[in-house]
A and B are shown apart, each in its own frame.
Chain A
Amino acid sequence: MQRKAVNFELWGVVIATFILLVVLPGLNAFTPEGSVLHVSNFAINLYGKYLCYGIVAISVDLLWGYTGLLCLGQCLFFALGGYMMGMYLMRMIGDLGQYHQPIPDFLVFLGWSKLPWFWRPFSNFPFAAMMVTLLPGVVALVFGFLAFRSRIRGVYFSILTQALTYAGSLLFFRNDLLMGGNNGFTDFKFLCGFDLRQPATQRGLYICTVLLLLGTYLLCKWLTATKFGKVQRAIRDSENRVLFSGYATAHFKLFVFVLAAIIAGLAGALYVPQVGIINPSEMTPDKSLEAVVWVAVGGRGTLVGPVIGAVAVNAMKSWATRAYPDLWLLFLGMTFILVTLFMPKGIVGLPKQIMALKKKFLSPKAVSSENVEPVPAPEIEKMPEPSNDTAAKT
């Protein structure tokens, strides 16, 4: 049974990778616009965004589904990664901004004529790329160290992570942080010399996103199969047992927390050039809650589920926010409630659930036909029939 399921997952991943990595970008690049097979630039851009969310969802699941740490602030790390990339992109605008100054427009607006010190290294792409992983990682390390050392668990941990991301959003809303305040960063032009307004650049970013998603999946697949992964799930199911078996659970949780933060940060860094904007609203607690819903919808404790959930919920969001803009949050809330009540294993667990239901509906009939009917019936009806049959045959 289990081996079958693994193969199923393997083939699913191979086929999905082929479609996402080869078919879609190929159809975008090599078919003429207006052709039935053509995948529009808009669609590629949209899918790239969904897949970034998918990566975040995996990181949430690594914490929640595998380690039992419900993090309600994962989008803080996503946004921090995005901001680090955003700083680089802002520098690459050069003097093409509204004010035609060599520093970003919002700094000119705030009365700056020179670049603040911490902005300077961000003209360098390798430095920015390093900061994309470093900043979320360090924030997670410090917060996680304090939280796990103090044995903060369960709902208290969840609330604290939510408070952390809220504090982050309040901080980034401030203009004097010199990170763009309310408006954040936007109007990007170039990334490593490539023009971001070119479809080919967006396609390249999309392909990078698919590769990052695949890499994240494979890394987590390996990680969860190691003894480390077993300890992770053991912590989820019985942390005291793990602690009294000699494992310093705080170290394990810290490792997972930092890793998840780095993954989310990388996703954020790819998200920003594709969406073209980053602002503090990405850090508000509701974004992180949405990420939790993606995981719940797709299937907690699996690696494929969160990605499916992220894509499905965001596709629904794209549709609902256009068709019924006011009702979207109601849709989201309803989805979460319904999934929690009726689909505890999410979309991924649905086939098994249906099979179980089938069995349940089929077996009572079998039971009733054996237990209720046969007692009076067979002697009167069935007894003569066989004899007739055998008589006819012979």
Chain B
Amino acid sequence: MTPLQKPEFILLLEKVNKSFEGFKAISDLTFYMDAGELRVIIGPNGAGKSSMLDLITGRTKPDSGKIEFGKDTDLTRLNEPEINQLGIGRKFQTPSVYVDHTVFENVWLALEGSRSVWATLFSRVTPARRERIYEVLKIVALDGKADDKAGSLSHGQKQWLEIGMLLAQNPKLLLVDEPAAGMTDEETHKTGELLLSLEGKHSIVVIEHDMAFVRQIARKVTVLHQGSVLCEGTVDDVQNNERVKEVYLGRKKKN
């Protein structure tokens, strides 16, 4: 936390507070993340995981505290599209794809490029763009389904498509909310491999419940509880932490 270290952080939250009608969703949350890191955030329901993503992506504004991206970009003053255009992509908990568009078009809409009304009126799919779209589709194993409607995909494929849409933007920071929810074990494992393959190229925050999945991908785990960080460390550190057992693992139905 010395001034020298600061430029290294891709994401910085300091003493952030947010309450919703009296309920303190986030309280004095302080969180740092290095560029290129893959970080997993766990915590019981209501711990403030999704609220934290809402604050980072501009969906809600903090009551107090500092949220910065990269070198001193204050995120609290920007709205969702502006924050997105800085290079922060967010995947929602429930798959959000455009069901009426083809898989190809879904990625096309997410592709880097101008987002103005005027630009979209005269934008064309150039060969370079087409190539880039197929490149992304290959990463998420959907290149065979490019012309299918996104609505016809399975739940797992929709999750991947949404991750693909994030990748198409080439974001610096990826925020992924429960990517394995509702997936089969095999799909979950594949998702884990996909996220691991992105490590280093992008900084990634993953929120997850599935401990097997966390074990697969996690280097460093942050445990949230009642809106602030309970502890941080490797999966083993965290699982052996008495307070974590108390508030989270003990209470969860881990048989």
Q: Which residues of A are at the interface with B, using a C-beta cutoff of 8 A?
A: 223, 226-228, 230-231, 233-234, 236-238, 240-249, 251-252, 255
8 Å CB contact of B108 from A227, A228, A244: A227
B84→A230 contact, CB < 8 A? no
CA distance A242 to B106 in the complex (A): 10
8 Å CB contact of A238 from B96, B117, B122: B96
B122→A233 contact, CB < 8 A? no
B97 contacts across to A, CB distance below 8 A: 238, 241
A228→B85 contact, CB < 8 A? no
B99→A228 contact, CB < 8 A? no
User: Does any Cβ of A come within 8 Å of B238's Cβ?
Assistant: no
B110→A233 contact, CB < 8 A? no
B101→A233 contact, CB < 8 A? yes
9 sample A-B contacts, Cβ–Cβ < 8 Å, listed by A number: A228-B117, A231-B120, A238-B96, A241-B96, A241-B162, A245-B84, A248-B81, A248-B115, A251-B116
A237 contacts across to B, CB distance below 8 A: 98-101
A237, A251, A252: residue with the most chain B Cβ atoms closer than 10 Å: A237
CA distance A252 to B109 in the complex (A): 14
For B, the interface residue count at a CB cutoff of 8 angstroms equals 29
A236 contacts across to B, CB distance below 8 A: 100
If A238-B98, A245-B169 touch, does A226 touch B123 (CB 8 Å cutoff)? yes
If A227-B108, A230-B105 touch, does A247 touch B98 (CB 8 Å cutoff)? no
CA distance A223 to B123 in the complex (A): 12
A223 contacts across to B, CB distance below 8 A: 121
B99 contacts across to A, CB distance below 8 A: 237-238
Q: Which residues of B are at the interface with A, using a C-beta cutoff of 8 A?
A: 57, 79-81, 84-85, 89-90, 92, 96-101, 105, 108-110, 115-117, 120-123, 162, 165, 169
A252→B81 contact, CB < 8 A? no
CA distance A245 to B101 in the complex (A): 15
Within the complex, the shortest CB–CB distance from A26 to chain B, in Å, comes to 37
| 10 additional contacts (CB under 8 A) given A231-B120, A237-B98, A251-B117 | A226-B120, A226-B121, A227-B121, A233-B98, A241-B165, A244-B81, A244-B92, A245-B165, A248-B79, A251-B116
* Closest residue of A by beta carbon distance from B106: A234
CA distance A244 to B162 in the complex (A): 12
Within the complex, the shortest CB–CB distance from B188 to chain A, in Å, comes to 22
A249 contacts across to B, CB distance below 8 A: 81
* Closest residue of B by beta carbon distance from A256: B117
B90 contacts across to A, CB distance below 8 A: 244
B120→A243 contact, CB < 8 A? no
CA distance A243 to B109 in the complex (A): 12
* Closest residue of B by beta carbon distance from A251: B117
CA distance A308 to B165 in the complex (A): 37
B121→A244 contact, CB < 8 A? no
* Closest residue of A by beta carbon distance from B162: A241
B84→A244 contact, CB < 8 A? yes
A223, A233, A243, A246: residue with the most chain B Cβ atoms closer than 10 Å: A246
B98→A234 contact, CB < 8 A? yes
A240 contacts across to B, CB distance below 8 A: 92, 96
A252 contacts across to B, CB distance below 8 A: 117, 120
A248 contacts across to B, CB distance below 8 A: 79, 81, 115
A243 contacts across to B, CB distance below 8 A: 80-81, 84
B115→A247 contact, CB < 8 A? yes
A230→B101 contact, CB < 8 A? yes
B84, B121, B165: residue with the most chain A Cβ atoms closer than 10 Å: B121
Within the complex, the shortest CB–CB distance from B243 to chain A, in Å, comes to 34
CA distance A266 to B120 in the complex (A): 25
8 Å CB contact of A244 from B80, B100, B116, B117: B80
* Closest residue of B by beta carbon distance from A241: B96
A238 contacts across to B, CB distance below 8 A: 96-99
A246 contacts across to B, CB distance below 8 A: 81, 84-85, 115, 169
8 Å CB contact of A227 from B89, B96, B109: B109
Within the complex, the shortest CB–CB distance from A214 to chain B, in Å, comes to 21
A233→B100 contact, CB < 8 A? yes
A233 contacts across to B, CB distance below 8 A: 98, 100-101
A231 contacts across to B, CB distance below 8 A: 109, 120
Within the complex, the shortest CB–CB distance from B61 to chain A, in Å, comes to 13
Within the complex, the shortest CB–CB distance from B215 to chain A, in Å, comes to 29
8 Å CB contact of B101 from A228, A234, A247, A251: A234
A226 contacts across to B, CB distance below 8 A: 120-123
CA distance A242 to B101 in the complex (A): 13
Within the complex, the shortest CB–CB distance from B52 to chain A, in Å, comes to 15
CA distance A233 to B90 in the complex (A): 20
* Closest residue of B by beta carbon distance from A254: B117
A245→B109 contact, CB < 8 A? yes
CA distance A255 to B117 in the complex (A): 8
Within the complex, the shortest CB–CB distance from B209 to chain A, in Å, comes to 21
CA distance A251 to B114 in the complex (A): 14
CA distance A240 to B117 in the complex (A): 17
A242 contacts across to B, CB distance below 8 A: 109
CA distance A241 to B110 in the complex (A): 9
CA distance A241 to B99 in the complex (A): 12
CA distance A226 to B121 in the complex (A): 6
CA distance A233 to B105 in the complex (A): 11
A244→B57 contact, CB < 8 A? yes
CA distance A241 to B84 in the complex (A): 11
